[in-house]
Chain A
Amino acid sequence: MSLERPRDRSQTVGVTDDGLDYDALADLLGDTVVSRETHRNAEAFVVRPDEVQDALFALRDEAGFDHCSNVTAQEYEDRFESIYHLKKYEDPTQEVSVVVPTSRENPVSQSAEPVYRTADWHEREAYDLVGIEYDDHPDLRRILLPETWQGHPMGLDYNQDKPQVVTLESHANPIADDHKEDGSDTMFLNIGPHHPATHGVLHVETVLSGEQVAHVDPDIGYLHRCEEQMAQNGKYRHEIMPYPDRWDYVSAGILNEWAYARTAEDLAGLDVPEYAQVIRTMSAEFCRIAAHMLALGTFALDVYGEFTATFMYTFRDREVVEDILEDLTGQRLMFNYMRLGGVAWDLPEPREDFFEKIRDFLDGLPEKLDEYHDLITSNEIFQLRCVDTGVLDAETAKQYGATGPVARASGVDYDLRRDDPYGYYDELDWDVITAEEGDNYARVLCRMQEVEQSARIIEQCVDLLEDWPEDDREIQSNVPRTLRPDEDAEIYRAVEGAKGELGIYIRSDGTDKPARFKIRSPCFSNLQTLPEMAEGEYIPDLIASLASLDIVLGEVDR
């Protein structure tokens, strides 16, 4: 990769020239550490459930782990366990896990919310699906399932056949009491779950004070399709791969597949031939373009109601990308193209036609992007609506674990393609796009510029593939028919999806199916920043902020 790293590594605890010194971190944590575990991605410290905050504060403030990328909860025969996956925005290859076991009789552990704001939702999810309770959590209630749900479905003794009752209640004004006393009155407004501006089935409980947004509470779970359970019921080799396509379903399928492929390959120790890596890189970037095009079209739709021009333009270009991907994978939208150890099949024959199609698309792209700039970013109305609205500063973004274009537009220079290289990215010449402003405009601009970078990557991949010697086109390495990773092997791996860090945690129990499969979706963390961006702004800015986050509910709810 051509990009030199412009950062100097700050002298924090445990940082050495070739990674992390976990003993130094253990010294830092001192008595809070009960024991240590080794996961495939990083060392893990087992911490007492009443000292979680001490340990996390130490790791965040003294060792520089400012990114709580994921919280995994799971149930064993003898205990419950929460795992906090910590990273650094500066260098995501430096990671550490904090494991918090609690008893099955009394599953209570301290909340990490004061340390990392993002733990709020993650812990609510852990409570909802697994049943761990978090002490001092500000708002511990169900997040994905309805309030009346009985039982915790990812727990061991959940009876799935029990009937359930779901209520249909109109919502009361959640902050009515706060405002009545000082004479002002607020209005409660439900946006969604069926609303054209919520990008799917999101319910935004909004409280308005006059025209300003006083309080926002995104209510999710209207598309909770049990993806983690589905993956846990599937065998590693073939049965899981179709599901990632359906997380971020905005054509980002191959990016998601890569998240699973990377995790499972690292878990099972599989190699991927170089040729397959190039194909993966190329197809993933096509997916990124398709995803960003949709983000752009729907953003214009939300901001100035353009169901005609911009929307149709972006869909015109998406159709071209979809066509190319269909030639490659044989499917529209749900590609199911990656396999563990490579890809499903080689490029379509005749290869020349396929390459020509791609080059035609790439040649036309700059002109189309100019068109978009004419239509959107240089549009004065658009600028009035987007510049300096929905501002998210870098520190807040980090606190919420925001990643992808949302974080990069706020000046967080974080891209796993460069910082934790995988695939063929580190051999290619491209740039990470960042902006400082952190407003709606910057986020959209970031996506548009990322499309250009994706096109650069694709072009280089096509050059490589064109000259690849025919005898050397190995698309898959030798993979055992049945994969049975070592018992109790645990791993967390992430890739840069279209929306940000898409990570997967897998715990193996020695069988051919994962014992725990946890998805860290970028949209889930990104959506959490919405109240920070929208409170105090006008309603249309709330809609614009929501659109600029580019969430996909399939990934938020999983």
Chain B
Amino acid sequence: MSSDSQLTNADAQTTQEARMGGGTDNRFNSKLREAFGSSPFVLTKFDSFMNWVRSSSMFMLQFGIACCSIEMMHTYAVKHDLDRFGAGVPRASPRQADVIIVPGTIVSKFGPRMKRVYDQMPEPKFVVSMGSCTISGGPFQQGYNVVKGAEEIIPVDIHVPGCPPRPEALVYGVAKLQERIGEGETAPVTVKPYELEEFGDLERDELVTKLADDIDEDTLVMRYNWNDSP
């Protein structure tokens, strides 16, 4: 049969050879392949593998607050191009993102909203706090309305200082975060004390008593205690 003759033909190719033509394509002759030798398998721990995956394909939440977000946009844009580091897929929805860069001053009115956005992100999730405001309130720390750092509300992995940090600094911060994720070290996602409380659960001081008639007990609230803030 003609098919038999083809099978026994000296030119018979494996499927791989048929796909690649004669010899291995140049593109496959990477350093990695050399290291692997003849075996196309790598043995590693699943956790290490996942850490490597997470650190190399980070989906960033498109999240702009203030001045820092302008520099963040520059970081995403031409010249700095965060994408080169495997960390540049901006997602508009928190449900599709695993890294949130907090770029700007957080004020009392925005605090609960940011908390909600953070809560909507799937785990594992990571936080980069960008700029002095998200570290401590920055130049506005003495203001009556300014939360003294993102860490009052959500757990932060990496702080990038500056007012605002240059795009290079943010790239460095993100690279450091990738390094840490790759090593499997990140801040634990803590539920308390960051959670919004129900109004009825608050300690009944003067303020809470005053508001008690106006606010439903089941209402989620955030309490800012400026005195105890760092």
In the complex, what distance in Å separates the CA atom of A232 from the CA atom of B227?
A: 21
Residues of A within 8 A of B108 (CB): 145-146, 149, 164, 166
Partner of B67, one of A167, A318, A322, A334: A334
25 pairs from A and B in contact (CB 8 Å cutoff): A145-B108, A145-B109, A148-B221, A149-B108, A162-B226, A163-B207, A163-B226, A163-B227, A165-B207, A165-B211, A165-B222, A168-B112, A193-B113, A194-B63, A200-B64, A200-B65, A201-B66, A222-B113, A223-B65, A225-B107, A233-B142, A319-B78, A333-B70, A333-B71, A334-B67
Cβ contact within 8 Å between B74 and A193: no
In the complex, what distance in Å separates the CA atom of A315 from the CA atom of B167?
A: 13
B20: CB under 8 A from chain A?
A: no
B-contacting residues, A290-328, CB 8 Å: 294, 307, 311-312, 315-316, 318-319, 322
B219: CB under 8 A from chain A?
A: yes
Residues of A within 8 A of B199 (CB): 165, 167
B208: CB under 8 A from chain A?
A: yes
Chain B residues near A (Cβ < 8 Å): 62-67, 69-71, 73-74, 77-79, 90, 92, 94, 104-105, 107-117, 139-140, 142-146, 163-164, 166, 196, 199, 202, 205, 207-208, 210-211, 214-215, 219-227
Closest Cβ of chain A to B220, distance in Å, is 5
In the complex, what distance in Å separates the CA atom of A191 from the CA atom of B225?
A: 29
A160: CB under 8 A from chain B?
A: yes
B-contacting residues, A30-89, CB 8 Å: none
In the complex, what distance in Å separates the CA atom of A200 from the CA atom of B64?
A: 5
Which of A7-15, A114-122, A246-254, A530-538 makes up part of the contact surface? A246-254
Cβ contact within 8 Å between B140 and A223: no
Cβ contact within 8 Å between A160 and B196: no
Closest to A323 in B: B79
Cβ contact within 8 Å between B223 and A224: no
Residues of B within 8 A of A333 (CB): 67, 70-71, 164
In the complex, what distance in Å separates the CA atom of A222 from the CA atom of B219?
A: 20
Residues of B within 8 A of A150 (CB): 207, 210
Q: Which 5 A-B pairs have the closest CB atoms?
A: A226-B143, A249-B67, A315-B77, A168-B112, A222-B110
A332: CB under 8 A from chain B?
A: yes
Residues of B within 8 A of A167 (CB): 112, 199, 215, 219-221
Cβ contact within 8 Å between B139 and A242: yes
Closest Cβ of chain B to A515, distance in Å, is 17
Residues of B within 8 A of A250 (CB): 70
A169: CB under 8 A from chain B?
A: yes
Cβ contact within 8 Å between A226 and B146: yes
Closest Cβ of chain A to B82, distance in Å, is 13
Residues of B within 8 A of A144 (CB): 109
In the complex, what distance in Å separates the CA atom of A437 from the CA atom of B130?
A: 41
Cβ contact within 8 Å between B196 and A230: no
Partner of B113, one of A168, A196, A226, A334: A168
In the complex, what distance in Å separates the CA atom of A243 from the CA atom of B138?
A: 12
Which of A160, A312, A332 counts the most B-chain CB atoms under 10 A from its CB?
A332
Partner of A148, one of B94, B140, B164, B214: B214
In the complex, what distance in Å separates the CA atom of A161 from the CA atom of B229?
A: 10
Cβ contact within 8 Å between A160 and B66: no
In the complex, what distance in Å separates the CA atom of A322 from the CA atom of B78?
A: 13
A200-B65, A223-B66, A249-B67 known; A163 vs B221 contact (CB < 8 Å): no
A107: CB under 8 A from chain B?
A: no
Add 20 more A-B contacts to A145-B145, A160-B226 (CB < 8 A).
A150-B210, A163-B207, A165-B223, A168-B113, A168-B196, A169-B220, A193-B110, A199-B64, A200-B66, A222-B107, A222-B113, A223-B107, A225-B145, A226-B142, A315-B77, A316-B78, A319-B74, A333-B71, A334-B164, A553-B66
Closest Cβ of chain B to A253, distance in Å, is 9
Closest Cβ of chain A to B61, distance in Å, is 9
In the complex, what distance in Å separates the CA atom of A499 from the CA atom of B94?
A: 31
Closest Cβ of chain A to B224, distance in Å, is 5
Cβ contact within 8 Å between B219 and A246: no
A153: CB under 8 A from chain B?
A: yes
Closest to B143 in A: A226
Closest Cβ of chain B to A415, distance in Å, is 25
Cβ contact within 8 Å between A229 and B166: no
Closest Cβ of chain B to A290, distance in Å, is 10
In the complex, what distance in Å separates the CA atom of A246 from the CA atom of B71?
A: 13
Residues of B within 8 A of A322 (CB): 74
Cβ contact within 8 Å between A153 and B166: no
Partner of B110, one of A196, A223, A242, A315: A223
A168-B196, A225-B105, A333-B70 known; A194 vs B113 contact (CB < 8 Å): yes
B-contacting residues, A129-188, CB 8 Å: 144-146, 148-150, 153, 158, 160-169
Residues of B within 8 A of A224 (CB): 107, 109, 145
Closest Cβ of chain A to B202, distance in Å, is 7
Residues of B within 8 A of A249 (CB): 66-67, 70
Residues of B within 8 A of A225 (CB): 66, 105, 107, 140, 143, 145-146
In the complex, what distance in Å separates the CA atom of A492 from the CA atom of B222?
A: 38
Cβ contact within 8 Å between B163 and A334: yes
B-contacting residues, A185-210, CB 8 Å: 193-196, 199-201
Cβ contact within 8 Å between B62 and A196: yes
A411: CB under 8 A from chain B?
A: no
Cβ contact within 8 Å between B164 and A315: no
Residues of A within 8 A of B220 (CB): 167-169
In the complex, what distance in Å separates the CA atom of A321 from the CA atom of B18?
A: 53
In the complex, what distance in Å separates the CA atom of A225 from the CA atom of B133?
A: 10
In the complex, what distance in Å separates the CA atom of A242 from the CA atom of B224?
A: 27
Residues of A within 8 A of B117 (CB): 194
In the complex, what distance in Å separates the CA atom of A226 from the CA atom of B144?
A: 7
Partner of B221, one of A165, A193, A229, A316: A165
B-contacting residues, A539-558, CB 8 Å: 553-554
A401: CB under 8 A from chain B?
A: no
Closest to A554 in B: B66
Which of A149, A165, A224, A251 counts the most B-chain CB atoms under 10 A from its CB?
A165
Cβ contact within 8 Å between A166 and B66: no
In the complex, what distance in Å separates the CA atom of A272 from the CA atom of B94?
A: 50
Closest Cβ of chain A to B167, distance in Å, is 8
In the complex, what distance in Å separates the CA atom of A20 from the CA atom of B132?
A: 48
Closest Cβ of chain B to A219, distance in Å, is 9
In the complex, what distance in Å separates the CA atom of A385 from the CA atom of B208?
A: 49
Which of A158, A227, A311, A333 counts the most B-chain CB atoms under 10 A from its CB?
A333
Cβ contact within 8 Å between B225 and A153: no
Closest Cβ of chain B to A527, distance in Å, is 16
A333-B71, A334-B164, A554-B66 known; A168 vs B110 contact (CB < 8 Å): no
Residues of B within 8 A of A193 (CB): 110, 113
In the complex, what distance in Å separates the CA atom of A162 from the CA atom of B205?
A: 11
Cβ contact within 8 Å between A163 and B223: yes
Closest to B197 in A: A165
Closest Cβ of chain B to A120, distance in Å, is 20
A221: CB under 8 A from chain B?
A: yes
Cβ contact within 8 Å between B139 and A164: no
